[in-house]
Structure 1
Amino acid sequence: MEFQYSSIVDSSTYDTEGLCDGIDLRKSNFAFLEDRGIIRAQQDWAKYVGPLHDNLFRGSMGPRYSYISVGIPECLPERLEILAYANEFGFLYDDIFEAITDPEKSTIENNKLLGAFHEGVQSGQIIQDPESERGGWRKLQSKILHDLLAIDREGAINIVKAWAEYNQQQHRNFSTLEEYFPYRLKNAAARIWTEFILFAMGLKLSAPERAKAEDLTRPAYFALVLQNDLYSWEREYREAQAQALNDEQSQSIDVTNMMNAIWVLMQEHNHLDIAGAQELCRIKIKQYTTEYIQIVENVKGDQSLSVDLVKYVEALKYDIVGQAAWCMTCPRNHPDISFTEEQLEWMRGVVLPVAESGTPNSKALKVRSALSDSTTRMPIVASNRKMSLAKSHSGTEH
């Protein structure tokens, strides 16, 4: 894979606790665009949907690494901001969905969201209805679809179609990881993330190639699921504690309602406590990561595979270490970690000039006038221009 839009992060500046040995952490040279997309999504949500539960919403942004900048470091710069906006919309919605304890109500709410995306797949647009109960949601969904379509129609439809078919199943008990994985991959929106990666990098796969890719990348997605569950366990456990305190009929924390591999491992190996399950989870992450590194090497030497398929398979390798770095340093999982002063100023509505961003190579991107019209305006990605400056500021890596 050619590296045109990202740089290797100095390994002395981070620690993935041995989970991703053998993989370099890479970060987009245009990470400030992701932060802009994230913050605009939060501001638009507050404006059109309702106030955020926390004025400093802890979603996909981090002080060192935001989700896509390290998860898909080779994301084309002109696609990064809208993908960040869409991804943050998903975080905002998921938090609302997970807070609904009534299964019937959660199904109704989920169907309303998916119905709008179904509409987008069928007609290529989502009709805005400010008077409807979910008019704000539809406005944001319409914005997402509009900007995605302006860049890459086929890729946009694939993202929205995957989102429309996404079905958050209700929690149920699992006795083994083997039972848990298929369910968790669906609830973790693995297919949506696949479409995000393909769109981000401008990759195209045929139907047979998609089937091949799903088979090849299974260990990577297993590692990603386990990473997420390992580092979100404490947050989810705190939320379960809070819910138990608010529920007058609850006498204890109901861990069976926590969709997390740590709890599943405790059931599968009934001698394990939480610490033991966490350690076993780490071991399995390392095993799946090692297995996937070898798969990537095999794929790179397979001349029968298309260039785009090989790029996608390799991209997931960097996603593994990127998500680990994000999980370990993000305010979402760690309430004691704060955002940077620049991020906090942006969140307060003070958008700094691009050239003042501390993000690597941001000074080479002279687009302040295009970026600073409005924090709630749709991004410059709608212009569908290639940011050739990304190639001019440094040599191409291989």
Structure 2
Amino acid sequence: MTQQSFIRNSIPLPRHTYEGEEYFCRFAPRIHRDARLSDAGSWQCQVDFLKSSNDARAGADRNKDVHSYAVGCINPVVGNFTALCACEALSDRLALTTYLVEYAYIHDDVIEYSEKKDESHLQKANEQLMEGLTLEGDKSRGPKSKDHVQRRQLQAKMVMELMEVDKEQAKETLRLWKEMSDVFVQIRDMKFTVLDDYLKFRVVDAGCPWTMSLLCFSMDFKLTREEEKQTADITSAAYDSWVLVNDYFSWEKEWSNYQSNGATGVVANSVFLFMKWHSIEKEEGKEMLRKEIISREDKYCSLKDDFLAKGAATEKTQQWLELLDLVTAGNFAWSMTTARYRAGAPDVYPALWKHCADKESDTESLGRPI
């Protein structure tokens, strides 16, 4: 008997917004009916983070000529990242979910565009951005600066609201967030010789397990341990394809940053690895990546079809596979069109910032619920 779809809160994304040569994904994206709530969550996070901290404002000013700096989920072409990937979220959890994803994007940029790029400073910046996103409380000693207090207030707000909604899922999300932040710095110093080894780390670095934990929170959805085990290989194949899609569309931005930094070190991107491993130019490396994405998506679909053909899928595991399809499509459409990756793409962030530029701070927003 065919299981009933769990589609309730989303509509198909208009085809004209994403169809074209660059959209070589086989799945069709959908978007949440209340997508405006995602944009509201994104913008509140931007105000809370960047307008309540002198350090944050200094970083934004220093990087004002970097077109993608602090560009998060909002995308005027296809819609907000979370509205696409969490298109079946409960409406009352959509803004909070997006707020957390937006913070993660800002976190990445604060590290990526740090004024001091040696490992000790990057580790310190990473710790400051994550120190309050645990259940362990404040372990720091000595007097606290105003920036420190406000940063901790912001982090505490996220933790508190997550815990109030779903304590157990919140704990898992926070655990995976810390795991992601730890790998984010480590991966830049690692040497890889085969793609699968790279993907094991890159999947965590890109936040795939964390993102899915958060999307499950947004939907009040949870697999049993046995169901997770049954679908683990399929899930892993989906994660691999998402990471490679991210590499594909973010490549030009990352290559430009690499050149600006003196072309030293490595780029955590599979195009860079292909260039190194096969002694090829970047154009060939990107074409090789395109073929790899198609191959990995084929593998995902094959594993999924084999699993379903056995007839042992529960209602929850079938819904999980449907969710993976939706995220595959949403991530692809968003990554292809976002100003975060693509220079010259439509971008609403400058206009949003201009709207509140007359205010040096907005600390009152930290006290407002998400």
Query: Could you state the TM-score of these two structures normalised by the residue count of structure 2?
Result: 0.83
Return the offset for 1:99. Answer: 2.9
Deviation track 1:128-175 (CA, whole Å, cap 9, x = no partner) reads x96376333322211111111222222112111211333121422323
Q: Does 2:238 align with 1:220?
A: yes
Aligned 8 A contact 1:176 1:267 in 2: no
Identify if the C-alpha distance between structure 1 residues 207 and 135 changes in structure 2 by more than 3 Å, giving closer, same or farther: farther
> Aligned residue for 1:188?
206
Aligned 8 A contact 2:249 2:342 in 1: no
Matches within 5 A, 1:85-100: 85-100=99-114
Query: Using the alignment, how far apart are the partners of 2:164 and 2:260 within structure 1?
Result: 43
Identify if the C-alpha distance between structure 1 residues 57 and 162 changes in structure 2 by more than 3 Å, giving closer, same or farther: closer
Deviation track 1:166-204 (CA, whole Å, cap 9, x = no partner) reads 312142232321221112112112221121121122111
Q: Which residue identity does 2:211 align to in structure 1?
A: W
Identify if the C-alpha distance between structure 1 residues 300 and 202 changes in structure 2 by more than 3 Å, giving closer, same or farther: farther
Q: Does 2:337 align with 1:329?
A: yes
Matches within 5 A, 1:157-236: 157-166=171-180, 167=182, 168=184, 169-171=186-188, 172-236=190-254
Aligned 8 A contact 1:176 1:265 in 2: no
2:256 match: secondary structure: helix
Q: Does 2:40 align with 1:36?
A: yes
Deviation track 1:345-394 (CA, whole Å, cap 9, x = no partner) reads 587259xxxxxxxxxxxxxxxxxxxxxxx8666446xxxxxxxxxxxxxx
Q: Which residue identity does 1:37 align to in structure 2?
A: G
Identify if the C-alpha distance between structure 1 residues 347 and 6 changes in structure 2 by more than 3 Å, giving closer, same or farther: farther
Q: Does 2:275 align with 1:257?
A: no
Query: Using the alignment, how far apart are the partners of 1:113 and 1:211 within structure 2?
Result: 32
Q: Which residue identity does 2:124 align to in structure 1?
A: I
Aligned 8 A contact 1:226 1:285 in 2: yes
Return the offset for 1:231. Answer: 0.7
Q: Does 2:74 align with 1:61?
A: yes
Identify if the C-alpha distance between structure 1 residues 214 and 110 changes in structure 2 by more than 3 Å, giving closer, same or farther: farther
Aligned 8 A contact 1:116 1:126 in 2: no
Return the offset for 1:273. Answer: 1.3
Query: Using the alignment, how far apart are the partners of 1:232 and 1:93 within structure 2?
Result: 17
1:116 match: secondary structure: coil
> Aligned residue for 1:356?
none
2:312 match: secondary structure: coil
Q: Does 2:15 align with 1:6?
A: no
Return the offset for 1:298. Answer: 4.4
Matches within 5 A, 1:309-388: 309-340=317-348, 344-345=351-352, 348-349=355-356, 378-379=368-369
Return the offset for 1:72. Answer: 2.1
Identify if the C-alpha distance between structure 1 residues 347 and 329 changes in structure 2 by more than 3 Å, giving closer, same or farther: farther
Aligned 8 A contact 2:250 2:341 in 1: yes
Query: Could you state the TM-score of these two structures normalised by the residue count of structure 1?
Result: 0.77
Aligned 8 A contact 1:175 1:267 in 2: no
> Aligned residue for 1:151?
165
> Aligned residue for 2:361?
none
Q: Which residue identity does 2:236 align to in structure 1?
A: R
Instruction: Extract unaligned runs of 5+ from structure 1.
Output: 245-252, 351-373, 381-398
Identify if the C-alpha distance between structure 1 residues 11 and 297 changes in structure 2 by more than 3 Å, giving closer, same or farther: farther
Q: CA RMSD in A?
A: 2.8
Query: Please, which moves more after superposition, 72-81 or 164-173?
Result: 164-173
Identity of aligned residues (%): 23
The one of 11, 29, 34 equivalent to 1:25 is 29
Identify if the C-alpha distance between structure 1 residues 20 and 306 changes in structure 2 by more than 3 Å, giving closer, same or farther: farther
Query: Please, which moves more after superposition, 105-114 or 90-99?
Result: 105-114
Return the offset for 1:318. Answer: 1.4
> Aligned residue for 1:360?
none
